[in-house]
Amino acid sequence: MSIMRVKSVEQSINDAEAPEFRLRRVLRAVDLLGIGIGAIIGTGIFVLTGVAAATDAGPGISISFVISGIACGLAALCYAEFASVVPVAGSAYTFSYASLGEFFAWLIGWDLMLEFIIGASTVSVGWSQYFVEALSAMGLALPEALTAAPGAGGVANLPAAIIALLLTVVLVIGIRLSAAVTNVVVAIKLVVVLFFIIFGAFFVKAANWTPFIPPHQPPEPGAVAAPLEQPLINAIFGQTGSFGLSGLVAGAALVFFAYIGFDIVASGAEETRRPQRDMPIGILGSLAVCSVLYVLVSLVMTGIVKYDQLNTAAPMATAFQAIGAPWAVGLVSLGAIAGLTTVILILMLGQARVGFAMSRDGLLPVWFAKVHRKYRTPYRITVITGVVVAIIASLTPINVLAEMTNIGTLCAFVLVSIGVLVLRRTRPDLPRAFRVPWVPVIPVLAAAACLYLMLNLEGWTWIRFGVWMLLGLVLYFVYSRHNSRLARGETIEEAADEL
């Protein structure tokens, strides 16, 4: 019973057409663009831009965005090819099953579950904070006991739980409604971002961009963090300090997290009308739009305010205060709330689709893969996802655990990049509506770039990630290895009888 057994592309596509598991194909290219932009533009553009500029790269943070965007672009090319070849729910999990085998597919599926659930919970807490501040600005104050987790001075963070549950209802009702809500909210936050760029450009002072790349600053004596509290690459090779060329790379590793989300577009392949054509448009198009916006926002922000004053939770608001436009702070808050809403929605969408694909394959109980008769959505796994996210968000003050979202994403990028090379060699006959150019150079560069960015995460993140993956290994060898449909030789029709 080989743990490296591969599920063929043809079998994956055949499973997607089974009546009991068939999802409704309603998404268009514009919907996929909305999902991608909705997932990418969130906390990153509203918070990380200022933090990275103040602590790592200075005005050169725009270059950091270019570096990070190139790394993501390389991985996005690999995702686009896979999505056009295997237009099935599950994203990197499904791609790995078709190329690297069941064991790696399980690992990446388990990894993605961590990324999506912890990510959605973390963003729900952020949404709650912005929502409470917006109510406070209108003179409506909620009791602290109901807006903070037990470890943060409260009893439960109810706004965080409520938004997760409301979006769960939207996801259960249907992917078309989810896409419509996403498109409306994405339009709102794009207006806010464009307003910041256009309005703020009139207040840019070139002097604030000097020096564009601040000189390297070595770590101060006695200020070196413990090995597990600093990026792993620093612990291995010695702490490098901040700014200079090393600061640009460190800034790229930090703002990379602002790009997370384009990969979730691939999870909607099974619900797309013309996936071979529209999936590459959604994946590459959303990444391109957001990359341009990130660079422009960082240039305007560091042009309005000196970079060393941007280490705040709301750097856009700081910039508006600096130009004497406090009225615009409310607009930024509206954009932040809109941005975080779509991120929560799409992270839970990604988790539900990955869990659905794993259940349909027998790696998780097939009961989770039940599709709603009317809405044609995997409602059981969707409801479970929403409840888990609501519980975590309401009871847990999430801080460093959020980094686990990022290491999980990077790990998925590495495996997908390698998978493209494997599938090109093992199945050269497959029709490919989109092909990664310059193979094997592009996939190898994508994997190397993502591995390097993983090394820029702190040691504790690696340890927590290792513990989670170890739990996944135990579950695989105890349950999934013996119950997978490939192991039992079970057809999709026989799996449907278990529902």
Backbone angles phi and psi of 217, in degrees to 5: -120, 110
Give the Cα separation of 199 and 254 in Å (integer).
27
Q: Can you tell me the mean pLDDT for 421-439?
A: 91
- pLDDT score for 412: 86
Question: What's the pLDDT at 226?
Answer: 66
Q: How far apart are CA 325 and CA 314, in angstroms?
A: 14
Instruction: Kindly give, in sequence order, each residue whose CB lies less than 8 Å from that of residue 77, ignoring residues fewer than 6 positions away.
Output: 284, 436, 437, 442, 446
* Residue-wise pLDDT tens digits, 12-30: 989 888 888 888 888 888 8
Per DSSP, the three-state class of 156 is: coil
Of 76-85, 145-154, 275-284, 447-456, the range with the lowest mean pLDDT is 145-154
Residue type, 393: A
Average pLDDT, the chain: 85
pLDDT of residue 286: 92
Q: How many angstroms from the chain centroid is the CA of residue 386?
A: 17
* Nearest-angstrom CA–CA distance, 355 and 366: 10
8-state DSSP, 478: I
Question: Taking the CB of residue 381, how many other CB atoms lie within 10 A of it?
Answer: 23
Position 377, amino acid: T
What pLDDT score does 458 carry?
A: 76
- pLDDT tens for 303-341 read 999 998 888 766 877 788 788 777 777 777 777 787 788
Q: What is the pLDDT of residues 261-287, one digit of tens each?
A: 778 888 888 889 898 889 999 999 999
pLDDT of residue 178: 73
Residue 139: predicted pLDDT: 77
pLDDT over 70 for what percent of the chain? 91
Rounded mean pLDDT of 409-420? 89
Confirm if 20 and 499 have CB atoms less than 8 A apart: yes
User: CB under 8 Å to 50, separation ≥6 — which residues?
Assistant: 301, 310, 311, 312, 315, 316, 318
**Sign of the dihedral through C-alpha 38, 39, 43, 49:** negative
Can you tell me the mean pLDDT for 423-433? 89
Q: Residue 242: what are its φ and ψ, rounded to 5°? A: -135, 165
Identify which of 397-401, 463-467, 468-472 has the greatest average pLDDT: 468-472
| Rg over CA atoms, the chain | 22
Distance separating alpha carbons of residues 455 and 397, to the nearest angstrom: 26
pLDDT at 450 over 50: yes
Question: Rounded to whole angstroms, what are the CA distances from 456 to 26, 237, 263, 394, 473?
Answer: 40, 12, 21, 30, 25
Cα 353 to Cα 341, 359, 493: the distances in Å are 19, 10, 20
Residue 202: C-alpha distances to residues 60, 163, 199, 447 (Å): 20, 37, 6, 40
Span of 39-53, 223-237, 481-495 with lowest mean pLDDT: 223-237
In sequence order, what DSSP letters do the residues of 107-132 get, joined into one string? Answer: HHHHHHHHHHHHHHHHHHHHHHHHHH
Q: How many CB atoms lie within 10 A of CB 418?
A: 20
Q: Is the pLDDT confidence value at 297 over 70?
A: yes
Phi, psi (5° rounding) for residue 362? 90, 0
Contact call for residues 418 and 443 (beta carbons, < 8 A): yes
Confirm if 255 and 64 have CB atoms less than 8 A apart: yes
CA distance 462 to 405: 11
| 232 pLDDT above the threshold of 70 | yes
Residue at 264: amino acid letter: I
Mean pLDDT in residue range 444-450: 92
What is the pLDDT at residue 382?
A: 95
| Between 328 and 75, the higher pLDDT residue | 75
Q: Is the pLDDT of residue 390 over 90?
A: yes
Q: How confident is the model at residue 400 (pLDDT cuts 50, 70, 90)?
A: very low
Please give the torsion angle defined by the CA atoms of residues 439, 443, 445 and 446, in that order, rounded to the nearest 10 degrees: 150
Q: Tell me, what's the pLDDT at 398?
A: 55
In tens, the pLDDT along 135-144 reads: 776 778 788 8
Mean pLDDT of 486-494: 87
Residue 81 tokens, joined = 């090819």
Q: Provide the CB-side half-sphere exposure for 300 (13 A, CA).
A: 25
Q: What is the mean pLDDT of residues 396-404?
A: 57
For 147, phi and psi rounded to 5 degrees?
-125, 10
